[in-house]
Amino acid sequence: MMGADGESSATVAAGEDHGALALNSSSAASTDPLLHPPPSPSSTPSSPTAIADHDAFIEEGGEDDSEPAPAPHDPAASDEAAPEFAQITVSEPKKHAEAAAGAAGVIPGSGSYFSYLITTRAADGGLFRVRRRFRDVVALADRLAVAYRGLFVPARPDKSIVEGQVMQRHEFVNQRCAALQRYLGRLATHPTIGRSAELHDFLTEPSGIPTSAGESPRSDPALSAAMSAAVTAPTAPAKPGRDFFGMFKDLKQTVANGLVAVRTPPVEEETDAKFVMHKAKLEDFEQHLTTASQQVEALLKAYDDLKATTGQLGMTFIKLAKFEKEQDTCNSQRKRAVDISNFANAVIKVSRSQTKLNAKIEIHLGTIYEYLETMTSVHNAFTDRANALLRVQSLSGDLFLLHTQAAKLESVSSRGMGQERLRYQKIEELEETIRKTEDAKGNARQEYELIKENNMNEILRFNKEKCHGLVEMLKGFVRNQVLYSEHISSIWTKVAEETKGYTGRGS
């Protein structure tokens, strides 16, 4: 899943790469002008390698333009069925005015929002195109979180953007396109969510997500009901503020009735030792990922520094060759200028190869960051489990108090007929409440068991996939190191052949 080789064009087409998504220029008439700004002076090549591309001393069409041939890659056989959606792309952002007056847009103060064209190619060859805004993606994520509790549901892109970090609007929209494409690609590759009705409707039905009309996705009645059923007890309707103040009221009533410390209420605990072991291992895995990601950043910085230094070295020798050529007074000086120029060309070729190698390293070692991102989904799934267990514990405590109250009422004798009738009425009400609470606990227990099953299935799947993914990451990293090392070695070998005439000369 996340260990795909960097050379795979299918991976790039499916949106798994880390590069920015190019915007379709055909929609320029209907998009914000800032999405397609004129070239800025900063776009002029400024790096040593870029300057060298246009220098008269740099040979065009040299060996550095031919990338080393990638080694054959045998994809590992997968036991999972092929995804229902083979390719998902997000492109053509279009700006719209908010329908509701005064509504806030995506860009602060704009009163507008962007929609994105989502093009999906199904495994059977079908092609679907729908337009969605980010609010629709939020609604999809909310529905998936409710419908598939306990699964490692990929986390959606964060909506909050610090205004100061958005240099230009087209950069923000570009990044949003890439993030959405990657998110939808991760959803599509999940064995359960990739075949869900929610994702299918989102990708194929133009009216599949109704929230783009202006209402908040979290105000959807069906969604609100589902969330309420998942976390709220099916008891009598509570008055506003009861959740906060009722706790103190119930505690006061409990003390008044003398029900405290009669006996300890039953406590539901996590008894799955296998799950606890897997959870601890995943937490350790996350710590190792964090350390590895820091080392990856240090490695990439070191490679970038090497690339920049190599490029600067090449440019320095280019200037030296120019000087020698302009000041030549004899044949030996002209020959030396040619040799220096050839050496400078070789250094620039090496710098270019290092640039390409760095891009490959970033793709392969980016797998570490993908797993770090997946750990967010893992924590969310485990939180679902903890909340479900807490729900069972809460209902068990409620039942304990209700049974205690019922036992106390049954043991108390009334002095008159009126009080006796009132006592029996309270007992009947308590028995009805006990019955409803027991039903609620049964449902909560059933939900908890389902989440436990989902957790374990996802843990086993994730362990299997990360084992394969990490191996593929290392294979891809080593493969490219070897290929580019051989390529750079061939460049220096050619330089050595060209300058072997200097061998044996005095220092």
Q: For residue range 219-249, list pLDDT tens digits in order.
A: 344 444 444 444 343 343 344 444 433 433 4
Q: Estimate the crossing angle of helix 417-498 against helix 273-326, to 10 degrees.
A: 30
- Domain final residue pick, 210, 228, 246: 228
Same domain, 405 and 478: yes
Q: Is 49 part of a structural domain of the chain?
A: no
∠ CA(137), CA(119), CA(370), 5° rounding? 60
User: Residue 90 forms beta bridges with which residues?
Assistant: 118
**In angstroms, rounded to a whole number, what is the distance separating the alpha carbons of residues 506 and 356?**
38
Q: Is 310 part of a structural domain of the chain?
A: yes
pLDDT the model gives residue 171: 74
Residue 122: give its domain's CATH number.
3.30.1520.10
State the DSSP string of 225-241. HHHHHHHS-SSSPPPTT
Same domain, 194 and 304: no
Which residues span the domain enclosing 265?
Answer: 258-502
Judge contact between 86 and 13, C-beta under 8 A: no
User: What does the pLDDT look like over 125-172, one tens digit per residue?
Assistant: 888 999 998 889 999 999 999 999 999 999 988 875 544 455 456 677
Q: Is 111 part of a structural domain of the chain?
A: yes
Q: How far is CA 242 from CA 239, 307, 438, in A?
A: 6, 64, 22
| Sheet containing 85-97, strands listed edge to edge, beginning at the edge strand earlier in sequence | 85-97, 112-122, 127-133
User: What does the pLDDT look like over 423-438, one tens digit per residue?
Assistant: 788 888 888 888 999 9
Across the range 320-349, mean pLDDT stands at: 82
**In angstroms, rounded to a whole number, what is the distance separating the alpha carbons of residues 486 and 362?**
20
Same domain, 268 and 148: no
Q: Is 43 part of a structural domain of the chain?
A: no
What domain count does the chain have?
2
Same domain, 196 and 315: no
Percentage, residues of the chain above pLDDT 70: 64
Residue 320: give its domain's CATH number.
1.20.1270.60
- List the structure tokens of 156: 């959606």
Question: What secondary structure letter does DSSP report for 218?
Answer: G
pLDDT the model gives residue 151: 93
pLDDT higher than 70, residue 20: no
pLDDT higher than 90, residue 60: no
Same domain, 189 and 266: no
Across the range 354-372, mean pLDDT stands at: 90
pLDDT the model gives residue 446: 92
- Tell me the pTM: 0.66
Centroid of chain to Cα 454: 20
**In angstroms, rounded to a whole number, what is the distance separating the alpha carbons of residues 392 and 390?**
5
pLDDT higher than 60, residue 40: no
User: Residue 423 forms beta bridges with which residues?
Assistant: none
Residues 6+ apart with CB under 8 A from 248: none
∠ CA(309), CA(310), CA(315), 5° rounding? 95
Query: At 503, phi and psi to the nearest 5?
Result: -65, 135
Mean pLDDT of all residues belonging to the chain: 73
pLDDT higher than 90, residue 212: no
Q: Is 326 part of a structural domain of the chain?
A: yes
Q: Is 76 part of a structural domain of the chain?
A: no
What is the band of 80 on the pLDDT scale with cuts at 50, 70, 90?
A: low
Asked which of 57-61, 174-178, 352-356 is least confident by mean pLDDT, the reply is: 57-61
pLDDT the model gives residue 408: 84
pLDDT higher than 50, residue 30: no
Q: Is 298 part of a structural domain of the chain?
A: yes
**In angstroms, rounded to a whole number, what is the distance separating the alpha carbons of residues 489 and 349?**
11
Judge contact between 153 and 145, C-beta under 8 A: yes
**In angstroms, rounded to a whole number, what is the distance separating the alpha carbons of residues 479 and 6?**
11
